[in-house]
């Protein structure tokens, strides 16, 4: 490109590019824009548009890849960009419990090797590390249970942090017990983990439900009812979406959610632990088996109780949650 002509027009640019690639047929182009949401701001979408518009009419072999941590990034594209976008998406959720456990091992090893750690502190950390890794004390089992409910690394870190704080407060209140840590530390640590597990199951979901907007309730109940109605050990996104369509048509609700929005909320509910997916990457395939992340009766009970306190939910939605017809 000639930098001298700053007022170069789109058709001139396209002509120059075609001339360049016609003389180099072996060359292809790959655009990669990390954090594509940066370019989606109103003043910057013109860049995406010009690139896509210029290349769609040419014979240049090209691929355009945008990465984002926002599942709903496509909703923020302008219509002119959406029309030129293939809508091919790949979702990567590759968190593994083994990776989290390796991080714990590395963290404790680093602290033990620190020059600020005393000999007694090193022995304490060694024993604590053994308790964390020992399946008999429930740590691995509890982490596995939380992980299967859709909890991420951050949640597991908070779980461990609260458990350790609870353990620490136990010894602060009864400092004489620190001398017998090797003998009964595992028991105390197990109690601390159980304490946190009870917190997570009784309070975490209720907190999320209390702040959940109506659209989320609709998708949540749609998934829950598809599981209850199909009488199988699993349900799929397609079943949940059919439940939503039936609810929308039967109840004549004003809230008309697009399929893309339902998909986005459905995935978010998986991440929050309400649904459980057996696939780390393909959440919405018809063949992908998805089950409830919480016991059916417990989830229904929490949903109904929160609906009673939620002043902005329609009566139709409450009837839908009870799985009753009008």
User: Digits of tens for pLDDT over the chain (326 positions)?
Assistant: 455 556 667 677 778 878 888 888 888 888 888 888 887 765 568 878 877 777 776 677 888 888 887 766 777 788 888 787 777 777 665 667 888 888 889 989 999 999 888 888 888 888 888 878 877 666 777 778 777 766 777 777 777 777 777 677 767 777 777 677 767 766 777 777 776 666 555 456 777 887 788 888 899 999 999 888 887 778 888 889 999 998 888 766 566 888 888 888 898 888 788 888 777 667 777 667 788 887 787 888 888 888 877 766 777 888 888 876 54
Mark whether 273 and 178 lie in a shared domain. no
Mark whether 62 and 119 lie in a shared domain. no
Mark whether 123 and 146 lie in a shared domain. yes
Please give the Cα distance from 1 to 10 (Å, whole number).
12
Does residue 109 sit within a domain?
Answer: yes
Does residue 57 sit within a domain?
Answer: yes
Mark whether 30 and 113 lie in a shared domain. no
Does residue 25 sit within a domain?
Answer: yes
Please tell me the predicted confidence (pLDDT) of residue 223: 92
Using a CB cutoff of 8 Å and minimum separation of 24, what contacts does 241-246 make?
A: 244/218, 244/219
Mark whether 219 and 304 lie in a shared domain. yes
Mark whether 26 and 111 lie in a shared domain. no
Q: Outline where 252-284 has alpha helix (H).
A: 259-271
Does residue 72 sit within a domain?
Answer: yes
Please give the Cα distance from 188 to 286 (Å, whole number).
45
Does residue 227 sit within a domain?
Answer: yes
* CATH for 314: 1.10.10.10
- Residue 35 is classified by DSSP as S
For the record, the structure tokens of 217 come out as 């309730």
Mark whether 121 and 196 lie in a shared domain. yes
Work out the number of other CB atoms within 10 angstroms of the CB of residue 84.
15
Q: Looking only at Cα atoms, what is the longest distance across the chain?
A: 83
Mark whether 225 and 310 lie in a shared domain. yes
Q: Which among 155, 182, 209 is the end of a domain?
A: 209
Q: Are 243 and 218 in contact (CB under 8 A)?
A: no
Please give the Cα distance from 209 to 224 (Å, whole number).
14
* Reported pTM: 0.44
Mark whether 54 and 21 lie in a shared domain. yes
> Whole domain around residue 154: which residue ranges?
102-209
Mark whether 112 and 63 lie in a shared domain. no
Please give the Cα distance from 31 to 26 (Å, whole number).
17
Look up tokens 């329609």; give the residue.
314
Which of 306, 307, 274 shows the shortest CA–CA distance to 290? 274
Q: Which among 19, 52, 82 is the end of a domain?
A: 82
Mark whether 109 and 204 lie in a shared domain. yes
Does residue 305 sit within a domain?
Answer: yes
Q: Which among 154, 186, 209 is the end of a domain?
A: 209
Please tell me the predicted confidence (pLDDT) of residue 326: 42
Q: Based on the structure, what is the number of domains in the chain?
A: 3
* Phi, psi of 15, deg, nearest 5: -65, -40
Mark whether 197 and 221 lie in a shared domain. no
> 166 CB contacts (<8 Å, ≥6 apart)?
191, 192, 195, 196
Q: Are 296 and 227 in contact (CB under 8 A)?
A: yes
Does residue 279 sit within a domain?
Answer: yes
């Amino acid at each position: 490109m000639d930098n001298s002509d700053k007022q170069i027009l789109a058709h001139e640019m396209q002509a120059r590019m075609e001339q360049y690639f016609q003389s180099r047929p072996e060359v292809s182009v790959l655009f990669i824009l990390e954090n594509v949401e940066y370019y989606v701001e109103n003043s910057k979408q013109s860049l995406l548009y010009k690139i896509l518009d210029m290349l769609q009419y040419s014979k240049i072999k090209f691929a355009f890849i945008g990465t984002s941590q926002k599942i709903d990034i496509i909703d923020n594209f302008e219509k002119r960009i959406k029309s030129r976008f293939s809508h091919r998406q790949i979702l990567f959720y590759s968190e593994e419990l083994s990776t989290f456990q390796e991080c714990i091992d590395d963290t404790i090893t680093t602290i033990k090797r620190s020059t600020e750690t005393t000999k007694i502190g090193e022995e304490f950390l060694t024993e604590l590390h053994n308790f964390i890794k020992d399946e008999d004390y429930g740590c691995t089992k509890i982490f596995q249970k939380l992980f299967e409910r859709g909890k991420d690394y951050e949640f597991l870190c908070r779980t461990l942090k609260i458990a350790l704080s609870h353990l620490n407060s136990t010894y602060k209140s009864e400092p004489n017990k620190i001398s017998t840590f090797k003998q009964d530390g595992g028991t105390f640590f197990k109690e601390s983990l159980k304490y946190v597990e009870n917190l997570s199951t009784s309070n975490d979901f209720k907190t999320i439900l209390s702040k959940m907007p109506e659209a989320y309730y609709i998708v949540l109940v749609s998934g829950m009812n598809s599981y209850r109605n199909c009488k199988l050990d699993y349900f799929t996104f397609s079943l949940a979406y059919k439940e939503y369509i039936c609810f929308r048509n039967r109840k004549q609700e004003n809230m008309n959610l697009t399929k893309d929005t339902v998909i986005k909320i459905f995935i978010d509910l998986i991440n929050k632990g309400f649904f459980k997916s057996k696939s780390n990457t393909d959440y919405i395939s018809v063949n992908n088996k998805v089950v409830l992340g919480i016991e059916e009766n417990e989830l229904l009970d929490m949903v109904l109780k929160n609906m009673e306190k939620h002043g902005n939910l329609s009566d139709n939605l409450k009837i839908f949650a009870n799985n009753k017809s009008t």
